[in-house]
């Protein structure tokens, strides 16, 4: 946390970093977007960086070169959410050279004025180990698969619940087992199990956690 003095002499929080990690489709994105809106933070879905890299690799580009040449157009492309791209994302995400190529962008994003929330797998452990608040968001496999299946069907994809469940399990296993920045809760992360929580209830818990940190910072 970086505190500045405002024009009227009162303290103002200039940089506040929230790190949100967890397995696939646990609700990280929804919670991150809600926190960004509520506290005026910039939001980076770091999964998009790996998905965009994976998509370029599926088109024949070498992985490290793909990661190094990402542009903002890559991150807004429409077909990043498919399970095929997600699988390739998880494969390229296990390559240390790909991860290294993406570190500087993520760290500089975290320093944006006003603060930022980043969500992914290694934000609290590798990208922003000094984050002001770390959350590790989980939910049961069945609940995560059902949520993701609903999203994908709504977006026009023709997939069974079983296919979605298999994709999540496969990626989680690979993401947790890799040597380079594996998916793991940081020691100081707050665990948020959203299996039995509505979106609003999960967001409320995260909002309260931030408020507490801000209070502590103002003291
Ligand atoms: O949306 P979902 O939780 O299914 O996945 P995502 O956050 O878009 O991430 C896609 C894949 O990128 C993951 O399965 C990870 O392999 C990889 N990833 C990563 O390794 N590190 C991150 N910080 C973010 C994503």
Question: What domains lie within the chain, and their CATH numbers?
Answer: 2-209 (3.40.50.300)
Q: pLDDT (tens digit, 9 = 90+) per residue, 171-183?
A: 999 999 999 999 9
Cα 124 from Cα 205, distance rounded (Å): 18
Q: For ligand 1, is residue 21 a contact (CB within 6 Å)?
A: no
pLDDT tens digits for 1-58? 887 888 888 777 788 999 999 999 999 999 999 999 999 999 999 999 999 999 999 9
Of all helices (H) and strands (E), which one includes residue 116?
strand 116-120
Cα 44-187-217 angle, rounded to 5 deg: 65
How many CA within 13 A on the CB side of residue 19?
30
Helix (H) or strand (E) holding 100: helix 96-110
> pTM for this structure?
0.95
- 171 in contact with ligand 1, CB cutoff 6 A: yes
Q: Is the CB of 32 under 6 A from ligand 1?
A: no
Phi, psi for residue 120 in degrees, rounded to 5: 180, -135
Q: Could you tell me if 135 and 19 are in contact, meaning their C-beta atoms sit under 8 angstroms apart?
A: yes
Q: How far is CA 97 from CA 25, 53, 180, 192, in A?
A: 25, 12, 10, 31
- CA-nearest residue, atom 8 of ligand 1: 47
Residue 215's pLDDT is 85
Q: Which atom of ligand 1 is found nearest the CA of 127?
A: 23
Report yes or no: 15 and 8 within 8 Å, Cβ to Cβ: no
> DSSP class of residue 75?
H
Q: Which atom of ligand 1 is nearest to the CA of 48?
A: 8
Ligand 1 center from residue 181 Cα (angstroms):
12
Residue 60 alpha carbon to ligand 1 centre in Å: 21
């Amino acid at each position: 946390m970086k505190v500045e003095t405002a024009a009227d002499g009162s303290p103002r929080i200039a940089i506040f970093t929230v790190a949100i990690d967890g397995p696939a489709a646990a609700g990280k994105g929804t919670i991150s977007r809600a926190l960004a809106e509520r506290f005026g933070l910039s939001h980076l879905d770091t999964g998009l960086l790996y998905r965009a890299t994976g998509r370029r690799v599926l088109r024949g580009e070498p992985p490290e070169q793909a990661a190094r040449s990402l542009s903002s157009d890559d991150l807004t492309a429409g077909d990043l959410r498919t399970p095929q791209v997600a699988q390739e994302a998880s494969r390229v995400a296990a390559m240390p050279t790909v991860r290294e190529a993406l570190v500087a962008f993520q760290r500089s994003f975290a320093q944006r004025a006003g603060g930022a929330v980043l969500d992914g797998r290694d934000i609290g452990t590798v990208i922003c180990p000094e984050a002001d608040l770390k959350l590790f968001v989980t939910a049961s496999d069945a609940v995560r698969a059902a949520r993701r299946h609903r999203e994908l069907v709504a977006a026009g994809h023709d997939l069974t619940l079983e296919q979605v469940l298999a994709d999540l399990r496969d990626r989680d296993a690979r993401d947790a087992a890799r040597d380079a920045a594996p998916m793991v809760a940081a020691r100081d992360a707050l665990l948020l199990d959203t299996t039995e929580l509505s979106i609003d209830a999960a967001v409320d818990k995260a909002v309260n956690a931030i408020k507490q940190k801000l209070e502590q910072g103002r003291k």
